[in-house]
Structure 1
Amino acid sequence: MNAVIVAVFIMLVLSLLRVNVVLALIIGAIAGGLTGGLSLSKTIETFTAGLGNSAEVAVSYALLGGFAVAISKTGLPDAIVSFVLKLVGADGENKKKKYSKALILFIILLMSCFSQNLIPIHIAFIPILIPPLLKVLNELQIDRRLVASVTTFGLITPYMWLPTGFGDIFHEILQTNMAEAGLKISKADIPNAMFIPSMGMVAGLLIAVFFTYRKPREYNQSLQIALTNEKNHTFSKLGIIFALLAVISALIVQLLLDSMIFGALAGIVVIYLSGAIKLRESDALLTEGMKMMAFIGFVMLTASGFANVINETGHVQLLVEKSVRLIDGNQGLGAFLMLLVGLLVTMGIGSSFSTIPIIATIFVPLCSELGFSPMATIAIIGAAGALGDAGSPSSDSTLGPTSGLNADGNHNHIWDTCVPTFLHYNIPLIIFGWIAAMVL
């Protein structure tokens, strides 16, 4: 049995049974290592060695959580909530609520997309924006699975297609690894090659918005009212100004130093200087914020160890070799199986950026052997890398939305974020990725 399939299967089954994702990843990694011929001690050693690969990411998310709580003290989230509540109105007009629902979803979609390309802060905006909006979402009876789907779309599709921000990083990784595997391409060709797969994501979003989750859904509001009404949405213009300055400072430092850690630190320092946080209460507040994002950090660390074990077994290569025997020169079947391998790998390690180096060295010669054009090869590898980012329990594209939507305990990570995003994005992405491979 292939170690990749065993490890990912066990991890996913345990996650669906509501076993903690961190434990599911550890158990899956051990099962995969043993299946791949590693001893238990070697598996544990390899897993532990891989933890350091995501240490920077874990610290970044912890500080971003602290930054989010600091921002909340400036009154910016309260100003957003106050603005949205005015749009919703208290009269319960169905027409007004309908427009308000569309506006809120559009704002969340816009922020999600901007966080990847225009203002590359990734998921840092989620704990700032989403928790204060939970009361409004409940007021409008918006299905949070829809919000998760909208947010995940914005966290993935822009980097797949647009060559700026995180998209520039993704395209750079794709170009570099394909060149190392023997196929030199121009970065300018990547957006064109990834257009059709990106349309698969758009199709999934439209299905979620207009069909699957369009019906109203009610949530338990008792905990959430306490969360959002604690300060009765009080804020000052000076606080808002400092909040915006903090966000701008964090962005500038992040871009200049290429570090989310120091970007978040810069934003926190600006808020300190504003006086929104008193020194005597800062430790407790920042610790609270770090706790909010700590789960994501732990999952990312564990996923890095999981990926290290999978790489050590060498079974990704074996999986592809078995696929080649099944393909027997059939282009259509070859494209489908390569996309499927990409899905399995990314679902396990939770990172499309880390999947590309794993699969590119294998897929480039395989695509050449099957007669795929360079553009089709880009589409296959790019789509295979992105597959699984939606739906993976260990992906920040699913962990981020859950961190905001579950602030009141009404949103389950697996069943309300991972399953909906897996169904609405991975299935269309396989279909449209396959079409791109056939027509390019």
Structure 2
Amino acid sequence: MNAVIVGVLTMLVLSLLRTHVVMALLIGAMAAGLAGGLGLEGSIAAFNDGIGGGASVALSYALLGGFAVAISQSGLPHALADKVILMLGREHNPRRVELVKNLLLLMIMLVAISSQNVMPIHIAFIPLLIPPLLLVMSKMQLDRRLVACVLTFGLVTPYMFLPVGFGGIFLNEILLKNITTSGLDVTGISVIEAMGIPALGMLSGLLIAVFISYRGKRQYNVDQIAATEHAAIQYDGKRILLALLAIGVAFVTQLYTGSMVMGALLGFILFSVTGVVRWNESDDLLTDGMKMMAMIGFIMIAAGGFAQVLRETGEIATLVSSSVEIIGQNKALAAFLMLLVGLLITMGIGSSFSTIPIIASIYVPLAMELGFTPLAIVALVGTAAALGDAGSPASDSTLGPTSGLNVDGQHNHIWDTVVPTFVHYNLPLLAAGWVAAVIL
């Protein structure tokens, strides 16, 4: 069996069996390496070569965790909670609760979408915005799986549909560039038109999650949330203003330097020098925040090693080309298999941006030979790469939501983020991508 399939399936099965994701990634990497002929020593060497790639993101997450704890210390979470409680009213009228819940979800989605283009800070906003809202969500008994789906929709759909911000990089600099390099003239092709149907697939998944799957209530331990957020802390207007200023400094710094580390660091320093966080307490608070985000950081590091082992086996290209052998002249089957292989590769690597260069060189000539239109080829390759970003245990688009929703230990990464986003986005996206490839 192909080493990529062995590695990805091993990792996914172990994760679903509640094996820790880091362990699942490590065992999956060894399984892929052995199946790909690297041997144990070669597999370990490849894994070690790859883990350095996730170190920067892991450090960013650690410092963002400390920054999030400092925000909690300012009292901002409780100010937000009190504000929403006032909106809810004492009687907790069901209609008003539903209205406030929908407004909260809409705000979260708009911020997530903006993080890809208006403020291209990607997932950096999640550990800052979401933890302060957990107390509010629990009072409304809002299912966090729904919040995870809303966040992932906002993180993935904009870059695969709108050619601005991260979408400009994904669609113009990577997708169209690699398709052109592979021999197809894409002059005059509208990426918005090509990716419109796949984007509708993502939208349909979001609507199913909102109105069907997670419309019911789910209870969480409020005391556990309050303990995590230092509920005894009082707040006033000055502390709230300083907290908002620190968040703004962190966002602007990350925006202009491209470094989440510097943004979180300057934000935390501002809390310290203004007295919101006492200097003699800053060490403990920063340590608490790092502990809170440690799991996500280790997953990112392990994911880098896992992806490197898959590359070193040389069987990613083999997987792509072997699917070509069974296609024949069947366009419908060709589209489905190309999308399925793209799903497997992206779920293993954890990055749709890295999938396109791997598949375009083979998919584009094959699709041209089978008679797919240029518009259909753009949709096919773009969707094949985007598939697996939502629903991968090692993707930013799932790790980001978990980093914010699990600060109190009540949100499981696999069963509360990965599985819901896989079901609600990968399956509709697979179907929509197939339709786009066939009818465009």
Whether TM exceeds 0.5 here: the answer is yes
CA distance in 2 between counterparts of 1:43 and 1:391 reads 25
The one-letter amino acid paired with 2:61 is Y
Cα shift readout 1:146-200 (whole Å, capped 9, x = no counterpart): 1111111111111111222222232222233333333454697323321211110
State the shift of 1:324 in Å.
0.9
Residue equivalent to 1:245: 245
Q: Residues 187-232 of structure 1, C-alpha deviation per residue, up to 9 Å, x if partnerless?
A: 9732332121111010000011111111222233342243357136
Distance in 1 between the 2:187 and 2:75 partners? Answer: 46
SS of 2:117's partner is coil
AA aligned opposite 2:82:
S
Counterpart Cα distance in 1 of 2:102 and 2:242: 29
- Percent of aligned pairs sharing the same letter: 58
- Contact kept in structure 1, 2:26 and 2:302, CA below 8 Å: yes
**Pairwise CA RMSD:** 2.0
* Residues matched between the structures, number: 439
Aligned to 2:418: 418
Hey, what's the Cα distance between the residues in 1 that align with 2:282 and 2:10? 42
1:426 deviates by 0.4
Report the secondary structure of 1:217's partner residue.
coil
Does the 8 A contact of 2:72 with 2:229 survive in 1? no
Give the aligned partner of residue 204 of structure 1: 205
Distance 2:183 2:280 in 1: 58
Measure, in 2, the Cα distance between the counterparts of 1:181 and 1:291: 46
- What's 2:12 paired with? 12
Q: Secondary structure at the match of 1:120?
A: coil
Q: Could you report, residue by residue, the CA deviation over 1:315-357 in whole angstroms, capped at 9, with x for unpaired residues?
A: 1221122211111021111111111011101111222222222
Instruction: Quote the Cα distance in structure 1 between the aligned partners of 2:368 and 2:215.
Output: 44
Alignment check: 8 A CA contact 1:77 1:129 kept: no
Q: Does 1:346 align with 2:333?
A: no
Q: Is the partner of 1:37 in helix, strand or coil?
A: coil
Equivalent position of 2:164 in the other structure: 164
Q: Does 1:256 align with 2:265?
A: no
Aligned residue for 1:327, secondary structure, equals coil
1:230 maps to amino acid: A
Task: Map 1:338-377 to 2 at 5 A.
Answer: 338-377=338-377
CA deviations on 1:39-65 (whole Å, 9 max, x unpaired) are 111111111111122222222222222
1:133 to 1:9, Cα distance in 2 relative to 1, 3 A: same
Name the SS of the counterpart of 1:73 in structure 2. helix
What residue in structure 1 maps to residue 181 of structure 2? Answer: 180
Contact 1:148-1:401 within 8 A present in 2 as well:
yes
Contact 1:175 1:184 in 2 (8 A): no
Deviates more, 1:188-197 or 1:6-15: 188-197
User: Does residue 1:192 correspond to 2:193, yes or no?
Assistant: yes
Q: What per-residue deviation string (whole Å, max 9, x for no partner) do you get for residues 16-56 of structure 1?
A: 01000011011001101111111111111111111122222
The structure-2 alpha-carbon separation of the partners of 1:97 and 1:348, relative to structure 1 and needing over 3 Å to count, comes to same
Could you tell me how far apart the structure 2 residues matched to 1:239 and 1:356 are? 46
Contact kept? 1:227, 1:408, Cα under 8 Å? yes
The Cα of 1:238 is off from its aligned counterpart by 2.7
Cα distance, 1:154–1:135 mapped onto 2, change above 3 Å? same
* Structure 2 partner of 1:123: 123
In 2, the alpha carbon distance for the partners of 1:352 and 1:285 equals 35
Deviates more, 1:132-141 or 1:209-218: 132-141
Write out per-residue CA displacement over residues 64-111 of structure 1, whole angstroms, 9 at most, x where no aligned residue.
222222333333333322221212223121121121221221122222
Structure 1 residues 296, 342: closer, same or farther in 2, change over 3 A?
A: same
What are the ranges of 5 or more consecutive residues in structure 2 without an aligned counterpart? none
> Which is further off, 253-262 or 19-28?
253-262
Stretch moving more, 43-52 or 347-356: 347-356
Q: Secondary structure at the match of 1:105?
A: helix
For structure 1, the 5+ residue unaligned runs are none
Counterpart of 1:421 in 2: which secondary structure?
helix
Partner of 1:221 in structure 2?
222
Q: Deviations over 1:265-294 (max 9, x none)?
A: 333333334332222221221222222222
Deviates more, 1:167-176 or 1:303-312: 167-176
2:191 and 2:145 mapped to 1: Cα distance?
31
3-state secondary structure, aligned to 2:130: helix
For the 8 Å contact 2:64–2:128, the answer to whether it is kept is: no
Q: Sort the Cα spacing of 1:436 and 1:18 in 2 relative to 1 into closer, same or farther, 3 A.
A: same
Between the aligned partners of 1:136 and 1:186, the Cα distance in structure 2 is: 50
Letter in 2 for 1:437: A
User: Which amino acid in structure 2 is aligned with residue 178 of structure 1?
Assistant: I
Which residue pairs with 1:87 in the alignment? 87
Tell me how far apart the structure 2 counterparts of residues 374 and 252 of structure 1 sit (CA, whole Å). Answer: 40
Task: Work out the CA distance in 2 between the residues paired with 1:173 and 1:11.
Answer: 28
Which residue in 2 is equivalent to 1:384? 384
Secondary structure of the 2:74 match is coil
Instruction: Provide the residue aligned with 2:275 in structure 1.
Output: 275
TM-score w.r.t. length of structure 1? 0.94
Q: 1:184 to 1:250 in 2, by over 3 A?
A: farther
Q: Which amino acid aligns with 1:397?
A: S
Measure the CA separation in 2 of the matches of 1:185 and 1:238: 55
